[in-house]
Every structure is written in structure tokens, then in C-alpha cells.
Amino acid sequence: MDKDLMDPGSFRFGLALEGTGWHPASWLSSPVTNAEELFGSDYWTSWGRAAGSGGVDFVTLEDGLSLQTDRFAIADQARDRVRGRLDPVVTAAVLLAATDIGEVVVSRNVTHTNPFHVAVQMASLAAIGPGRVVWRPQVSADARDAVVVGGPATPRLRPEDVYVPTRIARRLRDLFRDAEDYVRTVRELWRTFPGESLGSGDTFLNPDMVAPLDLTGTERYPAAGPLTVPVRSAPKVAVLAHHALEPYRLAAAVADRVFVTPSQEHPIPELLKAFREVERLTPDADGTEVYADVAVVLGDTEEHAQARLARLNEAAGFVWAPDTYVFVGTTDRLARELADWRAQFGLRGVRLRPAVLADDGDRIVRELVR
């Protein structure tokens, strides 16, 4: 294992928490047998504590307005799949209060939510865990979301669009542009109630420092504020960007951190070159940190990892093909590969999506990061 890779601050590791894991058949391989456990605090705090004590730098929480499905945007009646998830803001509050994990990256839908409410939610989390909150604005790619929440209709992706990022991005172009304005509005709202306006003793507040926004500009979202929560340290913003112009522009324009999704067709060098070119052409872009986003199936040996994936695919009834690279192998080889990515391409870190949280997440904490 590459010791330099593990030096504090040199390369950051994130664990993507999602149900019992990211593989559709993860429930069948999980030691969790009572579905209610996934909707209680003990399950999430145990993983937050394990990640924090194991040296993981951050965990990520997913948002979702529609129930998960095996086939994108097509409802099903599966009985052996995880369906549903806790609100990520509530889960983040539990993790920030009950664990010492360094950061919690909170996904929040921006297509069907109000920027004022999201600004308050993230500011509230930042007050609970100063410097430990990152917001990931998420564009709604599933047209079912609009029906579920009663929001405005959004473009419906065709089956042939689903695994082609450029097609998805083109059809959702307006939603990505709206998301850019949305993030800027939230950041402006965070400035309406600065933490420095709070006093002490007989003085609770300096009201001259708290003021609504001037809405004389052309902002897409007219929320003026001021917020009801003081913001001493504004959360950072992270964007998950598949290989296409629109998500890359969103990340370059408003994000402090971008998660890129490598694949055999689009390896890390190509993604970095494309993103940096978009960043160069984006006004006000300012050196976004680049992280890789990788799904993992780990084993004692290469053969063991391959066998585990084969069993998971057999249980699911189809081959798992997520929206990013799937690493299948040992933690030692994964460490070497990540060390090469860092040395050659200057990646700031990685977010790892465990196929089965109890197996692959445990190996990440025990074998990879320690």
C-alpha cells in the first residue's frame, strides 16, 4: 500500500453511503435483515463513526424524490431491493451531532425545491457542524420527480438516453442552467445573515448587518431573504459531473469540488482535460478541486472480487452498469491505482461507492484508508 497516498491532507477519501450499498442486489448480501433498520439513526451513526475512526475524510448522502428502481425512471414491484431513503438533511444532522466524521456531503435536489429553504437547511447544518458541511446540488434527471412533488414538468429521458451523458445533458440543458442560478442565489442568501452580526451579553444582534438581497438584477430565483439562520462559515459546494458540457459548466461555474465519473470510454486524463478546458472558458471559474467517483467491488483476491460481482449480478438478474467506473479487485491494487491517479493527474481525492456497504465499505475503512 502506498504510504504517501495515505498522508493526511495529501489525498482525500470519501465513502458514499446509500442504503445497504450501490449494487441493486446489495440487500440480499447484507447482514441487515430488518428493513426498518435503514430508517433509524443507529444504522447511519454506526457507519459515520466507523468512517470517522477509520480515517475516511468525508461521507456523502444521496437525495431522491422518487423511489429507486432497477431501470431508470421505470417503477417496479421488486421485493428484494432497497426502496426509500431518509431525508439527507436530517441524516446529516444526526451524523454531525453524533459522530466525528470530518465532512458530510449532502445532496439536495435543486429542480423541485426552493433556494431559500435549501439555504436555511444548509446554514442550519453548518451551525451544527462548522466547517464540516458540503452541499451537492442535484439536478432532477427523472421526470417522475415532478409528479411526485407536484413541481413543474421536466424533460422525460428516453431509454436510449440514460447511459449517454451527453444526451442526458443536452435534454436537461435548461435544468443545468437553472441550477447554476440556483446555487448563486443560495450563496447570496447565505450573505444576508452573517454570523458576525451576532453579539453577546445584552446585545444579541447587530440588525444593521442583516438585510435582504437587492433583487434589481436578473436572477432566475427571486428569493430575497434575509435568512433566519446566521451563517458564520458558508458550506462548500460539490457537483457530480458526468462527461458532458452542461454538468462540467455547472461545476466550473459554481462548485468548489467536482466529482468526475471515469469509464473505459472516457478515462481520467480525458475527463481532466475536458473539464479544465470548460473551466478555462467559464467566467469567474476558480480552480475547482477534482475528485474521482468510483464504484468498488473488493475481495481477498482478484478472483474473489470477480466472483462476488458475478454473484451480485446473478442475484440482480442483470449486469450492474452504473454511471461510473467499477473497480473490481483487491484493496492493495485499488490503493496503487489511486496513487497513480494522484501522482499522474493531481486528483485531490476520491469518492468510493461500495457495492455492498457491509463488505466493501468495511474493507475501505479497515484495509484501504487506515
Q: Say how far apart CA 19 and CA 81 lie, in whole Å.
A: 10
Cβ atoms 338, 351 nearer than 8 A: no
The answer, as to whether pTM is greater than 0.85, is: yes
Residue at grid coordinates 451544527: 128
Which pLDDT does position 167 carry in this prediction?
A: 81
Q: Say how far apart CA 257 and CA 260 lie, in whole Å.
A: 10
Confidence of residue 2 (pLDDT cuts 50, 70, 90): very low
pLDDT tens string 108-139: 999 999 999 999 999 999 999 999 999 999 99
Instruction: Tell me 231's DSSP state.
Output: B
How much is the average pLDDT of 79-96? 96
Buried b (16+ CB within 10 A) or exposed e, 80-112: ebbeebbebbebbbbbbeebebbbbbbbbbbbe
H or E segment to which residue 162 belongs: none
Instruction: Tell me 368's DSSP state.
Output: I
Which pLDDT does position 221 carry in this prediction?
A: 79
Name the nearest CA neighbour of 45 among 10, 2, 91, 106: 91
Which pLDDT does position 219 carry in this prediction?
A: 62
Which pLDDT does position 216 carry in this prediction?
A: 64
163: Cα separation from own chain's centroid: 19
Q: Say how far apart CA 319 and CA 309 lie, in whole Å.
A: 9
Residue 297, pLDDT > 90, answer yes
pLDDT tens string 303-341: 999 999 999 999 999 999 999 999 999 999 999 999 999
Q: What is the mean pLDDT of the chain?
A: 92
Q: Phi, psi (5° rounding) for residue 164?
A: -120, 100
Cβ atoms 239, 250 nearer than 8 A: yes
Cβ atoms 252, 285 nearer than 8 A: yes
Kindly provide the residue ranges of all beta strands, DSSP E only, lying in the chain, ordered along the sequence: 12-17, 58-61, 103-109, 133-138, 236-241, 257-260, 289-298, 326-329, 349-354
Q: Which residue has the higher pLDDT, 147 or 159?
A: 147
Confidence of residue 9 (pLDDT cuts 50, 70, 90): low
pLDDT tens string 206-227: 999 999 998 765 567 788 999 9
Residue 6, pLDDT > 60, answer no
pLDDT tens string 332-364: 999 999 999 999 999 999 999 999 999 999 999
Confidence of residue 69 (pLDDT cuts 50, 70, 90): confident
Confidence of residue 71 (pLDDT cuts 50, 70, 90): confident
What is the percent of the chain with per-residue pLDDT over 90, rounded to a whole number? 79
How much is the average pLDDT of 163-178? 84
